[in-house]
A and B are shown apart, each in its own frame.
Chain A
Amino acid sequence: MIDFIDPIYILTILFFVLALQRMSDPKTARSGIVYAGAAMLVAVLVTFFVPGIGNLPWIVVGTAVGGFLGFYAAKRVKMTDMPQMVAIFNGMGGGAAASIAAVELVAYTESTGFLSLAVAGGLIGSVSFSGSVIAFLKLQGWMTQRSVTFPGQQPTNIAVLVVAGISGGLLLVFAGGFWLWPFFLLALGYGILMTLPIGGADMPVVISMYNALTGVAVALDGFALVDTSAGAAAYAMIIAGTLVGAAGSFLTIVMARAMNRSLANVLFAAYGAKVEEGGTVSGALKPIDIDDAAVMMAYASKVIITPGYGMAVAQAQQKVKELMDALESKGVTVKFGIHPVAGRMPGHMNVLLAEAGVPYDRLFDQEEINPEFPSADVVVVIGANDVVNPAARRAGSPLQGMPILDVDRSKNVLVLKRGQGKGFAGIENELFYKDNARLLYGDAQETVAKLVQAIKKL
């Protein structure tokens, strides 16, 4: 029979690369993912024709069940809940990779070099699975978003990882069933333990990292399968997994750099677990009422809006779009300044504002918008805190060196805040005490709605 499976897998990979390439421009991005989706569908269908494949009814059932669950969950979820959806689907990929490794390890009878790759794939896939599940629970609010710590945490975590590795080694040496259990249980446990101390605002880094890890686990599984009857699928997995490993690593680095912290610091420092006693801020918090704020904005020539996670929590993106429209109808130039780690995943704010219908040519990243702040009449900070804290420029601050949005350099800063709480880093925000800062307390969605009404009346 003519081999039609390999050429189709090769084309699938080609379409994956094309999809990523088309993602460099918002105009072409969607067509790219549609191509990749079609290619994936064809790849899955031809897999039913791999010579010698059995258990077909169960494959159909499994694909249908998983496909339905994934489709249903992804269709229903609100845009503000996207970070946890991305986390859980990533975890599923890690779990699938770990399960494939487990199949290989259960099945083997003699030790070969390939099986050490299956052990590595099983370890990384398991960590990615359980870690992503914890990230999902945190983001979904089903467990605390703060850093969870206990005495002796890091030594415990390292011990768990080391013993998992040793079990993996013994599993290879003794070709044996028993060692599968400690190996997989400890690997899963390590994923949980590793994610517990990571707090909410560090999630963009962690989600990107687990994305990369799942990619690596898939590639390792591919290596483990190269010499089996699944040879063709194995190469597709190796390439796709490597592409994702590269993408995830890239995002992880970008996110960590945007906080000026090393990946090790994000993972192991339990940042935000302790609330620091900062008493060094001088000045007073100066509230403002809605009408004054509306006047200030409506008669400005340029307004920059800088959203943060608080906008997502309050589901305020739609009202923020209305605010933009109201201001523009008064002849005000409106731009958005987006910090790379604002929110809970890379690009979170861009997605929410796009959902609300804000044209993407109004969205500017940190480097583009920072030179504009001195010429802005009003900056509106909506639910952002650490990413606009000028303390980051000062030596000795816990935020020291973090690249921030220079909102304090504008003429007026309007801060929308739920209450008098501190940011994730647990320190006072010096911005709020500046002479040019005014505070509007309340739920962001309600406050922005009132501002829109007040501006329209002017």
Chain B
Amino acid sequence: MIAEVWAALYIVVLAAFVGYEVISRIPTLLHTPLMSGSNFIHGIVLIGAMVALGFASTFAEEILGFVAVVMGAMNVTGGYVVTDRILQMFDRSKSKGG
């Protein structure tokens, strides 16, 4: 169990570095989609919520797990649609600007 935490910490260090390197190349033009896109990415919390509800054994756990699933699902779909709508406009303004 301790070994797993250390393994996860190795991953965190690398993920933070990759994240920073990739993100610092994103132009200010796209800072809104960066924000809403990363908003969508933390929607991965939905799979954690599904597992939490899926292994819930008492009523209290089920209620909390259900709340987590609903919120996580809102996060995922809302984050995706918002980001896609914004990037669609940049897509379009490219073709018009030619």
Residue-by-residue, is A337-353 near B (CB-CB < 8 Å gives 1, otherwise 0)? 01010000111101100
B75 x A93 contact (CB < 8 A) = yes
Q: Which of A16, A237, A244, A338 contacts B47 (CB 8 A)?
A: A237
Q: Known: A227-B1, A230-B55, A357-B93. Is A107-B61 also a contact (CB below 8 A)?
A: yes
- Near A by CB (< 8 A), chain B positions 60-95 give 60-62, 64-94
B23 x A347 contact (CB < 8 A) = no
Total residue contacts A-B, CB cutoff 8 A: 403
B43 x A106 contact (CB < 8 A) = no
Q: Which residues of A contact B20 (CB under 8 A)?
A: 246, 250
Q: How many positions in chain A have a CB within 8 Å of any CB in the partner chain?
A: 122
Q: Known: A23-B37, A36-B37. Is A351-B78 also a contact (CB below 8 A)?
A: no
Q: Which of A24, A100, A107 contacts B49 (CB 8 A)?
A: A100
Q: Known: A54-B55, A243-B41. Is A359-B97 also a contact (CB below 8 A)?
A: yes
Q: Could you tell me the dominant secondary structure of chain B's interface residues?
A: helix
- In the assembled complex, the CB of B3 is this many whole angstroms from the nearest CB of chain A, namely 10
| A40 adjacent to chain B (CB < 8 Å) | yes
Could you list 28 A-B pairs, sorted by A, with CB under 8 Å?
A20-B19, A20-B38, A23-B37, A24-B25, A32-B37, A55-B62, A63-B69, A67-B74, A67-B77, A68-B77, A70-B74, A70-B77, A100-B45, A103-B61, A106-B60, A113-B1, A114-B1, A233-B51, A235-B11, A237-B47, A242-B15, A244-B19, A246-B23, A347-B32, A348-B32, A351-B89, A362-B97, A365-B29
Size class of B's contact patch? 35 or more
| A163 adjacent to chain B (CB < 8 Å) | no
- In the assembled complex, the CB of A368 is this many whole angstroms from the nearest CB of chain B, namely 10
A20 x B90 contact (CB < 8 A) = no
Q: Which residues of B contact A93 (CB under 8 A)?
A: 39, 42-43, 45, 71-72, 75, 79
B54 x A246 contact (CB < 8 A) = no
Residue-by-residue, is A35-74 near B (CB-CB < 8 Å gives 1, otherwise 0)? 0110010011001101011111011001111111111011
